[in-house]
Structure 1
Amino acid sequence: MVIDLESERRVVEKYLAECSVQPRRVVLVDDGLNSESLATALEKGDVLRGSPAWGCIVATEPRAHRTYVEWAVRQGMHVLLEKPVTARDLRTDGPGEALGLVADHHRLTALAEEKGVTVVVQAQRRAHPAYQLVKEILGDVVSEFGVPITYMDIHHSDGTWNMPWEFASREGHPYKYGYGKLLHSGYHFVDLFCWLTEVNQHIGRPPDRIGLDVFAVDARHVDAQLTEVSYERLFGSARWRRHSGLPRPASLPVQPWGETDVIVLARLMDGSDVLTTAVLSLLQSSFSGRSWLELPEDTYKGNGRIRHERVTIHVGPLMAIQVHSYQDGLLGGPSPFEVVVYRNRELVGGEAVTRMTMRSGAEGSVVASDSLNNRAREQIVEDFLAADGRRSGLALHRTTVRVVSAAVAGVARLAQGGSGRSVVALDASASEWYRPE
């Protein structure tokens, strides 16, 4: 069965016309429903018509995630949930609503446990063979020598170039509701940081909290970075002026906008001691292959997005690991994934330098559809089909949701002239999980 918005009828019908397997029903709900009205419509409308369903894939605009997951879980369905876990409209009370993401996670986790179903979050880097190898190597050294990960640098840029008027009009990956990169692709890399640093729990004094400092660029800043003169030179005056009168961040100064780029400085601490420092630079207004003004039909992969991904990890003086994954901008072109491990071999053994290059496609495969990331996504789907939450079950995202929530709240406070600093407790039983600074 397919549930979607009435406004998406043409898109749904076109997609299904090309599918060999057809749904039993297509349910199109009113676009104007809020969360409560949507929940009521799903419950009272008897969407399933008495026919039980085993599972549900929730891949909607994330502000609707909580409602759909709650409905599915109450019906006894296992759920595959696209990231982020939930999102909220941050225009009125940005910091308060951002902190509510943790309450959403707690509520959905408790409900899934009560109903005996599995909710799997599509965070594919937990199933990525290269990152699994990296975590295994780190875990071995950290546990054997008692030295934590002391430094981590994660850079991700996805080349999402929005034209100024698209900030005000887009519903997919929106910014007009007060959130952006952190609740778009940024979630993956906060999760990667939290997941990899789990190895620090193997040392004698594991960290008990995370200190955060957040800096952000929002749509208003991007609108100032590229001027009218720049756009006219890039696209030509005649083409540009056909669009330049549309609403844009510069013309809507009161509107709070979600972040396009965010820098998160993190410190994993035990007492007053800092065990790990980290920098997460997460960019959307970055190098892009887009060279057109009009949005294409495929606004996800077909709008010039180019992914550049880099990770650097140090385990004190004992080990360093570099991860590089850069798309070259050519559709279907090569996208090697390289891992380089440097060891102080006189102390920890092994090779001084180990280089491993994993190609995106096996011999004879179609590279564009057989990337390591896509294979990892398939693994998460297989986990869902097996109702197996050991890799990326909802409960395992508790720390990630806390860090994302605190970072989003920091971005919202910055926009109000406040501070982006906070402390997040790692202990699940902590009476207070969050403290602004």
Structure 2
Amino acid sequence: MPQLSGVDAALICTEPKAHLSYAFWSIERGMNVFMDKPVTALTRDRSVELVQGEFVQLVKANRNAGVRFVVSCERRMQLGYLYVENFLKRFMRQFGVPITHVSIHFAGGKWILPYELADLENHPFKYGYGVLFHSGYHYVDLLARLAKLNTSIQDMDMSDPTLDLAVVRHADLNQVIKQELYQRFGSSGDCSDNAIPPSCGELDVSIVGRYEHKGRYRMSFDLQLLETSVSARNIRKDRPGTGRIRQETVQVHLGNLCSIRIVSDSYRKLAGSGEPEAFDVSIACNPLVAEGVSIQRIDRTGLSRLEPRLPVEAGLNGFARREQLLDFLRGGEAGSPLASHADSISLLTQICRVMRAQLPG
């Protein structure tokens, strides 16, 4: 039992299955909490409804305890995304136009060989959950937050989006990436189907959906969450999980009046470049609303010019994580209090319901 004298906060950075236990333990002792996402994990042996139910229980306990509870989700304080969010709020307020479509593509480049799955404890797939409860949660949260902006324009049911999913698991990938290929690049372990734990979670998820109100369309979206993409890992010598190459593209359309595109990647890990990371925002407006400037563009260097406190050599996500933690330590809620994740958890729960329904048996 840790000595609690003078302790007023807990940082929870454990494997996701343990998040909830530590969270309840901390708030019951009156501690403020700064916890890594996700709030909880959906293993193969647990009901999907626990994702929503445990979140509701935690929010209630947090309110009763009266402590601050922050879920670390850095894109909520990432300066590039804040720039876009502020633009959207102004544009939507001025013209009364909602977001009509959002398209998000994330590729993580996480290369895990079949025989490594059984022993992988750091960001594991083997317990029945995968990309959705790791990097994917950032984009589920981003989608839900963008959709929420629409509720200032029109009624929209945030709790029950219509969804269609295509899911790829490790056993699926093994049908198209053959063992001979792994051997060609130096793998000596068992890469057959026999090495894959039967409970393994999702590797890639493609989601197409729409938000509605009383059965009428309000906003459509597609969400691609992929770990099967280019990696910098040398499987001859690098440990599992190394060499990740993030690719991120977000497209937002507001009817025929405005389109916004965000492109961000970490290709510089492959090139060994000392240049600033790639982060580019393009905003295109119909001439009727453009006020003389139809296309606005800002890159990573330009973002630092707008935000002098952001060093041009700093990684945007790393800087945002630092800012979130500092804000929490100073008494703030880091733009990400627990209760504000309600719409994200609703969307995640609905995705998991559809995904679980597709499992054989």
For the structure 1 residues 282 and 273, does the alpha-carbon distance in structure 2 shift closer, same or farther, using more than 3 Å as the test? same
Query: Which of 160, 177, 184 is the aligned partner of 2:110?
Result: 160
2:250 to 296, 311, 315: 311
Match of 2:332 among 385, 388, 409: 388
Aligned-partner residue type, residue 379 of structure 1: E
1:190 paired with 2:140, answer yes
> What is the Cα deviation at residue 347 of structure 1?
3.2
Partners of 2:27 and 2:61 within 8 A in 1: yes
Q: Does 1:344 align with 2:286?
A: yes
**1:252 offset after TM fit, Å?**
5.7
Shift of 1:249: 6.8
Give TM-score, length-normalised by structure 2: 0.91
Separation of aligned partners in 1, 2:259 and 2:20: 39
CA contact (8 A) 1:135 1:199 kept: no
Aligned mate of 2:357, from 401, 407, 413: 413
Over 3 Å counting, the alpha-carbon distance change for 1:226 and 1:63 in structure 2 is same
1:381 aligned partner, one-letter code: L
2:182 aligns with one of 231, 256, 268: 231
Return the alpha-carbon distance in structure 2 between the equivalents of residues 148 and 333 of structure 1: 40
How far apart are the structure 1 equivalents of 2:292 and 2:334?
Answer: 30
Matches within 5 A, 1:244-393: 244=190, 250-251=193-194, 255-296=198-239, 300=241, 303-328=242-267, 329-330=270-271, 333-334=274-275, 335-359=277-301, 367=313, 370-389=314-333, 391-393=335-337
The 3-state SS of whatever aligns with 1:130 is helix
Q: Report % sequence identity.
A: 30
Instruction: Tell me, yes or no, if the aligned pair for 2:34 and 2:69 is still in contact at 8 Å.
Output: yes
Q: 5 Å matches for 1:17-96?
A: 46-48=1-3, 50-90=4-44, 92-93=45-46, 96=47
Q: Does the 8 Å contact 2:156/2:211 carry over to 1?
A: no
Any residues of structure 2 matched to 1:167-206 within 5 Å, and which? 167-206=117-156
How far apart are the structure 2 equivalents of 1:375 and 1:350?
34
**What whole-Å deviation, never above 9, does each CA across 1:341-384 have from its counterpart, x for those lacking one?**
000132353510011012498999694xx211111111211232
Higher relative CO (Cα under 8 Å, sequence separation at least 6) belongs to: 2
Q: What whole-Å deviation, never above 9, does each CA across 1:263-322 have from its counterpart, x for those lacking one?
A: 1112011112111111110111211111224553xx55xx11011110011000000000
Q: CA deviation at 1:333?
A: 4.1
State how 1:2-13 maps to structure 2 within 5 Å. Answer: none
The amino acid of 1:378's aligned partner reads R
- Segments of structure 1 that go 5 or more residues without pairing to the other structure are 1-45, 418-437
> How far does residue 388 in structure 1 lie from its aligned partner after superposition?
2.2
Q: Which residue of 1 aligns with 2:78?
A: 128
DSSP-derived class of the 1:317 partner: coil
**1:33-59 CA deviation, whole Å, 9 max, x = no partner?**
xxxxxxxxxxxxx322x5141111101
How many residues end up aligned between the 2 structures? 353
Name the SS of the counterpart of 2:184 in structure 1.
Answer: helix
1:8 maps to what in 2? none
C-alpha change, 1:172 and 1:390, in structure 2 (3 Å) is closer
Tell me the CA shift for residue 393 of structure 1.
Answer: 0.3
SS at match of 1:309: strand
Aligned residue number for residue 20 of structure 1? none
1:398 is aligned to 342
Q: How much has 1:336 moved relative to structure 2?
A: 2.2
Which secondary structure state, in structure 2, belongs to the residue aligned with residue 256 of structure 1? coil
Q: Is the 8 A contact 2:212 2:219 kept in 1?
A: yes
Partner SS, residue 53 of structure 1: coil
Structure 1, residues 45-88: CA drift from partner, whole Å, max 9, x if none?
x322x514111110111000000011111111111110111113
Whole-Å separation in 2 of the counterparts to 1:305 and 1:413: 30
Deviations 1:11-40 (A, max 9, x none): xxxxxxxxxxxxxxxxxxxxxxxxxxxxxx
What residue in structure 2 maps to residue 142 of structure 1? 92
Give per-residue Cα distances to partners, 1:101-140, cap 9 Å, x unaligned. 1111111111111111011011110101111111111122
CA contact (8 A) 2:185 2:236 kept: no
TM-score by length of 1: 0.76
1:310 partner amino acid:
T
- Displacement of 1:256 after TM fit? 2.5
AA matched with 2:177: L
The CA distance in 2 between the partners of 1:293 and 1:162, in whole Å, is: 12
Distance in 1 between residues matched to 2:232 and 2:334, nearest whole Å: 37
Give the Cα separation in 2 of the matches to 1:400 and 1:319: 25
Task: Report the residue type matching 1:340 in the other structure.
Answer: S
Instruction: Give 1 or 2 for the bigger CA radius of gyration.
Output: 1
